[in-house]
Structure 1
C-alpha cells in the first residue's frame, strides 16, 4: 500500500468520525490564523504531540506525509525574513532585502504557525476514508447529499486520471508519435485526457441520476455515521489546545491580533 493512500483505521483516533477530526483541526487552526506570534504557535504545537501520537501513524509514514510541511515552512520563514517589513534593529540591507529584528520575529512566528496548523491536519486525516467523510458531512453536518456524493464520486475518479495518462502515453509510443515534440505531445495528451474526463463525468452523472441521486425525497444511507463520546472528546481536545495557546500568548504579552493595531 502506498504511503500516500489512506491507511486502514488504526490507533485510538483511527475510528473517530472524520467530521470530528475536521472540527478539531479547525478549532486548533482558528486562533493561530488570527494572531502573528510564535508563543501561541509553539504552545499549540507542544499540545498537539499527543494527538499525533494517537493518530496511529508509523514514524516513516509520518515523515513522508509531512515532508511538504517541513519544506514549505522554512522557505516561508526565509522569504519573510528577507523581504518582511523592517522594524527594530536592521542587521542586513541590500536593495529590497531587509533583515531586521521585526522580520526575523515575524519569520519565526510564520514557521511555527504553518507547522502547528498543518501537522495535526495531516496526522488526523491520514486514516480518513473519503466515503466515511462523505457520510459524516451528509448525516452530521447536514450538507446537501447531492453535492457531497457528487464530490465523492469525482474524488474516487481522480486515480483513474493517472491510469488514463499512462495508457495514453503507452498508446502514443506504440504508434510512434511520442518520440519527438515533447511540448506538443503534452498538449495533445492533456486535451485527450480532458475529453476522457468529460465523457466519464457524463456517464457518472447519468448513472447517479438513474439510481435516484438528486431526488427530492429523503435519502437512506447504507452506513450510519457514528457520533459518540470519542468525537466529543476530540473536539474538546481541539478547543482546549486552542484556548490554552491563546491564554499563554496573552499572559506573556505576545498575542498580536492580525486585525489589531499591532499587526
Structure 2
C-alpha cells in the first residue's frame, strides 16, 4: 500500500491544468534532460533561447504567476550574484574597461557574466517550476513503481520531507513561547544571535525526538519489511509524459542549434 506519510506539513503542490496529469518522474526527467544539455556550453545565445522557450511553455501551462515569483525567488537572487562574481573575477579577454586590485572587468568577463546569469536562469527555472506542480506522495509512488527505487528508501525520504513543514511550525511555536516568557527582545544584536543559537538547538532536539518516534511507528507498521509491498495508487506513464520529454529535448536542441548556427557555441570540455 502506498505510504501516506505519518505526518503532514508539506505545502500542497501548485495546480496546473496541463502538468497535473503528467507523472512526477517524467517532470523530473524532463528537467534533468534540459539541464544536462544546457550545461554543455557557456554562451549567452543558447541560454537565452532556452530561457525564452521555457517562459513561453510555462505561460502555456497556466501556472499562477504568484507561485512562480515566490518559488523562483532563490534563482532570481542567485543568478545576478553569480553574474556579478563572474564579471569582477571572470576570464580576461579583449579590452579591459576597469581594474582595481584583483578586480578586472573586460570584454570577456562581461560576456561570461551575461552567459552565467542566463545559464543559471535557464537551468534553474525548469527544476523549480516543474517541481512546484509535484505532490511528494505522487513522486514517491513514481520513484518506487517506475524507477524501481527501494521502497524503504523512498518512503523514508517521503516521511522526512513531510517533516519540513512541521519544522517551520515548531520554529514559530518556539519563538512565541520565548516571547511569552519575556526573553525575545533583550540583549540587542548579540542577544538575538545567542537566542537564535539556543532556539536552533532546541529545534534540533525536538526534531530528533520526533524523527525517532516516526521511525519507530513506521517500523511497527512494517514499512521496513523486505517483502515486496503493494501500492494504493498505481503510478503510470502515457502519451503526455512522452510529449513532455520530446518538448524538453526540442527546447534543448533548438538552443544548441541556434548557438552553433551563430557561432557562439562554447563547449565546456573543449
TM-score by length of 1: 0.91
| Residues 130 and 152, structure 1, Cα contact 8 Å, conserved in 2 | yes
- CA distance in 2 between counterparts of 1:214 and 1:73 reads 41
Query: Alignment partner of 1:91: what SS?
Result: strand
Partner of 1:169: 175
Matches for 1:1-263 after TM superposition, within 5 Å: 5-180=11-186, 181-260=191-270
- Equivalent pairs, count: 257
- CA distance in 1 between counterparts of 2:178 and 2:66 reads 38
Shift in alpha-carbon separation, 1:259–1:68, aligned structure 2, 3 A = same
1:58-87 Cα shifts (integer Å, max 9, x gaps): 223322332332232222212211211211
Question: How large is the RMSD of aligned CA atoms in angstroms?
Answer: 1.8
Query: Which segment drifts farther, 181-190 or 33-42?
Result: 181-190
Residue 25 of structure 1 deviates from its aligned partner by 0.7
Stretches of structure 1 lacking an aligned partner (at least 5 in a row): none
Query: Alignment partner of 1:77: what SS?
Result: helix
- CA distance in 2 between counterparts of 1:87 and 1:196 reads 54
1:15-51 Cα shifts (integer Å, max 9, x gaps): 2111111111111111211211111111212222342
Residue 258 of structure 1 deviates from its aligned partner by 1.2
TM-score by length of 2: 0.88
Shift in alpha-carbon separation, 1:218–1:105, aligned structure 2, 3 A = same
Shift in alpha-carbon separation, 1:61–1:169, aligned structure 2, 3 A = closer
| Residues 13 and 56, structure 1, Cα contact 8 Å, conserved in 2 | no
Shift in alpha-carbon separation, 1:68–1:188, aligned structure 2, 3 A = closer
- CA distance in 1 between counterparts of 2:257 and 2:49 reads 10
| Residues 44 and 245, structure 1, Cα contact 8 Å, conserved in 2 | yes
Shift in alpha-carbon separation, 1:176–1:216, aligned structure 2, 3 A = same
- CA distance in 2 between counterparts of 1:226 and 1:11 reads 18
